[in-house]
Structure 1
Amino acid sequence: MGGAAALPSPSYVNFYTPACDSEGPMDTGPLPSDLTLHLTQVGLTASSLPGALNPVLQTITGHTSASAAAYYQRRDHPASSRAVLTTEPSYPARICRGPAPLPTLPPDLLRRLTHEPDLLNLPATAHHLALLAAPIRERGGELLGALLMTRPDSGPWRPGDCHLLRTLAGLVTLVAARLHAEERERDAHEHALRALSLALEARDADLRGHTDRVTQLATLVGQAMHLPPDALGALRWGAYLHDIGKLTLPDDVLHHPGPLTPAMRERMRQHVDEGLNLARQLPFLPPEALDVIAAHHERWDGTGYPRGRSGTAIPLTARIFAACDVFDALTSPRAYKHAWTPGDALHFVQQGSGTHFDPQVVQALTQVLGHHAA
């Protein structure tokens, strides 16, 4: 990660505590009201811990005597969004663009912070740095990580610096606690949605493994098309539930061994609206997930069902899923057909580019399959 030159190696750190209980007026003034409001909004709305860190670290370097600031994460609490480290002017701020883990706590610092309730002052004499660390903990007291700030001399920290670091550590703690609770809730929802999809697979042997395969493939295509994290999550959830309406189909339609009769075909098509009605009973599903259920049988040229939508009137998550769904169906054995080779199935999808499928989705699917075949 960026800024390694501004932070000491753990082997050179001499620990002692505490550092900030000296008497006297705090010489760091209050934060401007607009900055305080901004940090409060960050705490309430940040969608990831790394996303909340940039303004926090900038505040440390802009309003204390610190020349560098960083957040370190415990190795067993990974965060996979953007990791940000703000450093002194001679070390420009470096931002990791794309998925990257936050830097993890050095073992020595991890051991000391695990048992330290307040700030740690850590002068690193070999590097001529003073380092102040504030532990970030879960509600139950378990250590999540640490907010650190450094300065290129070994003098004492000003009381105001310590007060501000405590305040900002409290903000990061609130963000971490909120996001951890939201993550646990999302995980519970995802497990429940996958369980629903497996219930359908248990009823139809031809579908076993289909949901996991097509969900993984759709996620890879969504990543190749640079969908934001929220849209990717919705795509996954919609993929889990795309055929949930088939739970309402009678056995003679669901298990029919040959071509469907016109009446059976009409009944089969009803699974889309019935699945949408079922999914709407789950208030946590985002609209983009419902789009997958509602529109994964629509076609780019408007000849699909149930609404006959065309082009970009079909939501992107549904367009992505439609191509992946057809590819997986073709490459899987069914009671009425053998499995196609991946090459033949991809060729079929490519032939449908601009008629059945969104050309940009076909291009992304081709890229993903080519990459994984290499």
Structure 2
Amino acid sequence: MNWDTLEKLNRAVELKDASTAAHTARVALYSQAVAESLGLAVEQVERVVAAAIVHDIGKIDIPSTILAKPGRLTPEEFEVMKTHTVLGHRRLLEMGERDPVVLDLVRSHHERLDGSGYPDGLVGHAIPVAARLFAVIDTFDAMTSLRPYREEVGEQAAQRALEELRERAGTWYWPEAVGAFVDLYKQRGLTWILHHFNDRESMRDLSAPSAAELADLCRDLSSGKARS
């Protein structure tokens, strides 16, 4: 998948749900750092980042009344929201995407090791590696980003999220990915990612980085230039 295509898909989701722009930027940068720390090859790291950028493409097909609801979803609404994984996977296939890393991550990033995730209830190593890795990142970001029903978040929320990931490691989340993410967050100064791309700011000014700019930021993060 080339960067032009990634850019179009990224912007399409952003137009449907403005807060997704900041979320996409953060998870792409987190993915870069964690994938590298786990020793993935350069090409595979790039594919994981590409998949992270389009992981929520299925939200294009979710009703705006659910995506932008100013409050928690009802059980019925959550069932609709869960279909974004299958819808995104289908959309990419229809576009001709054949990269298994991208397809697997988009479909399976909400699976859990114990089989309690969705959409397929996969267990353990049946969950693709990229999806197991990304599930940790996506969960952390969901717990530390702004929501209509959540006040400002900061380092206290981040520490609670890290603790929950540790508690669920081996049950819901891949222990290696949890360990790598927790270590990186504490030791490599990844807090700037959490604070730099703020959802509320992205809602006011849709100037979040493009897919190509995210690629540059990822390279800077890899070399240490992006830290602050």
CA contact (8 A) 2:16 2:64 kept: no
- AA aligned opposite 2:81: M
Say which of 167, 172, 178 aligns to 1:362: 178
Q: Offset at 1:275?
A: 0.5
What is the correspondence of 1:127-146 to structure 2 with a 5 Å cutoff?
Answer: none
The residue aligned with 2:82 is 269
CA contact (8 A) 1:330 1:340 kept: no
Report whether the alignment pairs 1:255 with 2:68: yes
| Cα distance in 1, alignment partners of residues 49 and 35 from structure 2 | 10
Q: Which has the higher strand share?
A: 1
The residue aligned with 1:196 is 9
Say which of 150, 169, 172 aligns to 1:337: 150
Identity of aligned residues (%): 35
Give ranges in structure 2 of 5+ residues lacking alignment.
191-228
Q: Which has the larger radius of gyration?
A: 1
The residue aligned with 2:188 is 372
Say which of 124, 138, 145 aligns to 1:311: 124
The 3-state SS of whatever aligns with 1:373 is coil
The residue aligned with 2:211 is none
The residue aligned with 2:220 is none
Tell which deviates more after alignment, 278-287 or 211-220: 278-287
Say which of 30, 33, 46 aligns to 1:233: 46
CA contact (8 A) 2:32 2:49 kept: yes
| Cα distance in 2, alignment partners of residues 340 and 306 from structure 1 | 31
CA contact (8 A) 1:295 1:305 kept: yes
The 3-state SS of whatever aligns with 1:208 is helix
Q: Deviations over 1:172-220 (max 9, x none)?
A: xxxxxxxxxxxxxx6xx12321331232123223323111110110111
The residue aligned with 1:328 is 141
- AA aligned opposite 2:39: H
CA contact (8 A) 1:234 1:285 kept: no
CA contact (8 A) 1:245 1:275 kept: yes
The residue aligned with 1:182 is none
| Cα distance in 1, alignment partners of residues 95 and 43 from structure 2 | 17
Q: Offset at 1:284?
A: 4.7
What is the correspondence of 1:1-374 to structure 2 with a 5 Å cutoff?
Answer: 189-338=2-151, 339-341=153-155, 342-373=158-189
Q: Offset at 1:340?
A: 4.8
Give ranges in structure 1 of 5+ residues lacking alignment.
1-185
| Cα distance in 2, alignment partners of residues 311 and 281 from structure 1 | 28
Structure 1 length-normalised TM: 0.48
CA contact (8 A) 1:292 1:318 kept: yes
- AA aligned opposite 2:37: A
The 3-state SS of whatever aligns with 2:19 is helix
Q: Which has the higher contact order (CA 8 A, sep 6+)?
A: 2
- Name the count of aligned residue pairs: 187
C-alpha distance 359-296 of structure 1, shift in aligned 2 (>3 A): same
Tell which deviates more after alignment, 361-370 or 278-287: 278-287
Q: Segments of 4+ in structure 1 off by > 6 A?
A: none
Q: Offset at 1:311?
A: 1.0
C-alpha distance 267-363 of structure 1, shift in aligned 2 (>3 A): same
| Cα distance in 2, alignment partners of residues 352 and 201 from structure 1 | 31
| Cα distance in 1, alignment partners of residues 154 and 95 from structure 2 | 36
CA contact (8 A) 1:275 1:293 kept: yes
Q: Deviations over 1:261-300 (max 9, x none)?
A: 2221111111111110001133354111111001000011
CA contact (8 A) 2:82 2:119 kept: yes
Q: Offset at 1:360?
A: 0.7
| Cα distance in 1, alignment partners of residues 7 and 32 from structure 2 | 15
The 3-state SS of whatever aligns with 2:188 is helix
| Cα distance in 1, alignment partners of residues 42 and 144 from structure 2 | 28
Q: Offset at 1:259?
A: 2.2
Q: Offset at 1:373?
A: 2.7
| Cα distance in 1, alignment partners of residues 3 and 98 from structure 2 | 10
